Structure 1
Amino acid sequence: MHRMDNRGDFLQLLGPYVSIEILNHLDDPSDLVRACSVSRSWHRFVIENGTCKQLFLKRFPEIDNEAHIIELNNMIGPTKLSSDNSTEWERLKRDHRVYAFLLAQALSPSIRTDCLSEPISASSTDNYPDESIRNTLEPRDRVEGSPSYWSSGGENDPNVPETLTYKLVNNLCVVTEIRVQPFLAYFQYGFPIYSSKAVRFRMGYPRRPLEFNNDIKDALLASHKWLDEITWTYTSPEFPMAQENCLQAFKLPEPVLGIGGILQVELLGRVQRQEMDELYYICVSHVQVLGRPLLQPFDIEVPDPSGSCALNYNLKTEAIPSHMHGFTDISMQLLGNGAVVADHESDEEPSA
């Protein structure tokens, strides 16, 4: 690098503490690309001060709760600092690489509408299997001429809530919006709509693997006791629900990183009484989750029953998911070279 006049370099003028504060207020990864590209000293400054990590935690604060950590095959995480400067620099570069790649996946412009994988349980079901939670994954409210919906059990008290719990398509998934469609009972007099008064959403991870027996009925109806084994990392605000037969969209205030792949829909309050038994029910025909699954090389691990959770980064996973190809240039520039794979890291730095 040619010798430069530092009189215009605010890192030199303001000093490290103020400069770190300024960089930590960046909101766009492309700003980090620009900062890394200014000079070798700026590139090193961004890496040494964990700016990618700070931006990621600012965007997804839930990852900083419940003692979540990042591990690179046990090389990044709560590790002891080495007195060897070169070893510490390699650790910082690996840390930077992981969070840059996380940012690239989590902030990809590609949104999927099929982020639900399978149902886990319903807090109650009126007529199983005809009114099973499985029906809520079917976008149509009629299948082969028969109604397709989930129905709760009947209650005298309209304030009794219900829950529907699902598995997301991946253990790490950025969720932006959840859609719920109440069911219109077209076969009942007056065409009543069995909506809830409001909805709320929770995301979390199981403290031990979810294991069901071979009886699907027992799994779906009794597995709600597994909810005691879930550590919830996020709870949304409460959203009012309209008593309308349409797919109602509930956009989260900020994109949320679902850690562990469990999503729960809380249906709060009942508005419709069934004429034949005068009990209150909630019925849902369809649930849809919009988001961005974080694919390999990331996954989570629950190392012990204490409730702590670790994010693991597989160093040997080289494939870049196809949906990321339009956004990987950001992460690649953040990494300082054209490779995203940590196994083949280059020592090249950006030129001034």
Structure 2
Amino acid sequence: MEGSIDFVVLLNSDLSFKTLSNLNNPADVVRASSVSRFWRQFVIASEFSKCLCLRLFPETLSAIKAIEHNNVIQSMGFETTGGSVGVEKLKKNHRIYALLARSLAHSLTKECILEAISASSNRSKAEDIHQTLIPGDIFQGRFSYWSSPGKTNPEVPETLTYRLVSKLCFITEIHIQPFQVFSVHNLYSAKVVRFRMGHVKEPQRERYLTSDYGAGKSIEDHVVWTYTSKKFPMVQDGYLQKFKLPEPVLAIGGLLQIELLGRVQLGVNNGLYHLRVSHVQVVGRPLTDDFIAELIDYSGKCVLKYNPERATCNYWGWSS
């Protein structure tokens, strides 16, 4: 455009870098790289996409060991590059980290649970953990809930374990609805809840989780829990209760467990303490299909495999 001034050309590189560093949206960095050839070269050489990704999601630096693309593994850290090979690597990094930042920054969803794995116990098959994925407390004309067996000791805990939709999720809230029989005002709630997130010790056995760990089969010896929340008191009411974590938690490995601690309600017929849950939701930001996370060791570190066939590049005007 006649009479226009390109500040990136006029200013020195330090001032230009400081100015463009104020961008906080991954899409804006990509748009900046599309302004002109000079801007594109500057944005790519300065690794703005990578800097922004690690600034928005610093947890990824310790959790993600490397990113793999076309069987080439690149460290998440910064390294010196030079020559034509270095330029091509910077271009690829620009694309990958822009997509990674977008993948982690998309809108929150309440659908972070992929499937129910196991409960520490079930009262019956009709009252198993799978009932907790059905919204509300009535399904096809009957009550829908998970129920523990009755216990004489009200302090006996129970656990519900789920697989998340991705091995890499930023979790912000967990919602739990205890089951209540309104006709007799019986509420089968826990006193407090606690949440754990982690991964299986042996990744090759992950596909067998739902078949190997039914009710009464402990999953504890085969899981590494990398995060344990504080205890949250439950309101003694039958509505969907929302437990917001103090800050978003990067769940690595795709497993989430709810610990139900303390029983308050005696069964009407047997005089035993029961726990019952109608519905569970997990709110967060799962990694999109642009990447596949694969665990590499017991510590919970993972390698991200970039999946260009599924990458949504056209969203930002890139060609496929």
TM range (shorter): 0.7 to 0.9
Q: Which amino acid aligns with 2:54?
A: L
Give 2:127's aligned residue. Answer: 131
Check the 8 A contact 1:76/1:95 in 2, yes or no. no
2:27, 2:102 within 8 Å by CA — same for their partners in 1?
no
Specify the alignment match of 1:9 in structure 2.
11
Residue identity opposite 1:262 in structure 2: L
Among residues 65, 70, 73, which one is paired with 1:68 in the alignment? Answer: 65
Q: Are the counterparts in 2 of residues 149 and 284 from structure 1 also a CA contact under 8 Å?
A: yes
What stretches of structure 2 of length at least 5 have no aligned partner? none
Contact 2:252 2:300 in 1 (8 A): no
For 2:213, what is the secondary structure of its paired residue? helix
> Structure 1 residue 201: deviation in Å?
2.7
Determine which of 95, 109, 117 is the counterpart of 2:114: 117
Q: How far apart are 1:133 and its partner, in Å?
A: 0.6
Q: 1:311 to 1:12 in 2, by over 3 A?
A: closer
Deviations 1:9-48 (A, max 9, x none): 364459x7xx49x93x754335534654676565445434
Query: Would the alpha carbon gap of residues 27 and 243 (structure 1) be closer, same or farther in structure 2, given more than 3 Å must change?
Result: farther
TM-score, L = length of structure 2: 0.78
Partner residue of 1:251 out of 241, 244, 248: 244
Equivalence for 1:56: 53
Secondary structure of 1:210's counterpart equals helix
SS in 2 for 1:89: helix
**In 2, distance between residues paired with 1:78 and 1:38?**
29
1:35-71 CA-to-partner distances (Å, cap 9, x unmatched) read: 5467656544543444333433343344333563222
CA deviation after TM superposition for structure 1 residue 163, in Å: 1.7
Deviation of the 1:82 alpha carbon: 7.9
Change in CA separation of 1:202 and 1:7 when aligned onto 2, cut-off 3 Å? same
Change (3 A) 1:169 1:81: closer
Query: Which among 192, 196, 200 is matched to residue 198 of structure 1?
Result: 192
Task: Show CA shifts across 1:140-174 (max 9, x none).
Answer: 32334432211224445444432211112333444
**Aligned with 1:296 (options 289, 296, 315):** 289
Question: By how many angstroms is 1:288 displaced?
Answer: 1.7
Alpha-carbon contact 2:178-2:276 (below 8 Å) kept: yes
- Secondary structure in 2 matching 1:179: strand
Letter in 2 for 1:282: L
Instruction: Give the distance between the partners of 1:295 and 1:160, measured in 2 at CA.
Output: 38
Q: Which runs of 4+ in 1 moved over 6 A?
A: 2-8, 79-83
- Aligned residue for 2:162? 166
- Which residue is equivalent to 1:88? 86
- 1:265 maps to what in 2? 258
| Alpha-carbon contact 2:104-2:285 (below 8 Å) kept | yes
Query: Equivalents in 2 of 1:35, 1:86: separation in Å?
Result: 23
SS across alignment from 1:55: helix
* Residue 301 of structure 1, CA deviation: 1.8
Amino acid at match of 1:312: K
SS of the residue 1:220 aligns to: coil
- 1:129 positional shift: 0.7
Q: Provide the secondary structure at the position in 1 that maps to 2:100.
A: helix
Residue 292 of structure 1, CA deviation = 4.3
Deviation at 1:289, TM superposition (A): 2.4
**Which one-letter code corresponds to 1:288 in the other structure?**
Q
Shift of 1:230: 2.9
CA distance in 2, matches of 1:5, 1:264: 52
Contact 1:158–1:280 (CA under 8 A) maintained in structure 2: yes
Structure 1 contact 193–244 (Cα < 8 Å) conserved: yes
Whether 1:179 and 2:152 are equivalent positions in the alignment is no
Q: 1:349 — aligned with what?
A: none
Whole-Å Cα distance in 2 between the matches of residues 12 and 258 of structure 1?
Answer: 37
How far does residue 193 in structure 1 lie from its aligned partner after superposition?
0.9
The question of whether the paired residues in 2 share the 8 Å contact of 1:60 and 1:255 is answered with no
Per-residue CA deviation, residues 87-134 of structure 1 (Å, 9 max, x unaligned), is 12222222221121122232223x443332211111222x12122111
Residue 274 in 1 paired to residue 270 in 2?
no
Distance 2:294 2:100 in 1: 17
Q: How many residues align?
A: 314
Tell which deviates more after alignment, 39-48 or 94-103: 39-48
Rounded to whole Å, the distance in 1 between the matches of 2:9 and 2:59 is: 40
The offset of 1:223, in angstroms, is 4.5
TM-score (norm 1): 0.72
Q: Give the structure with the higher percent strand.
A: 2
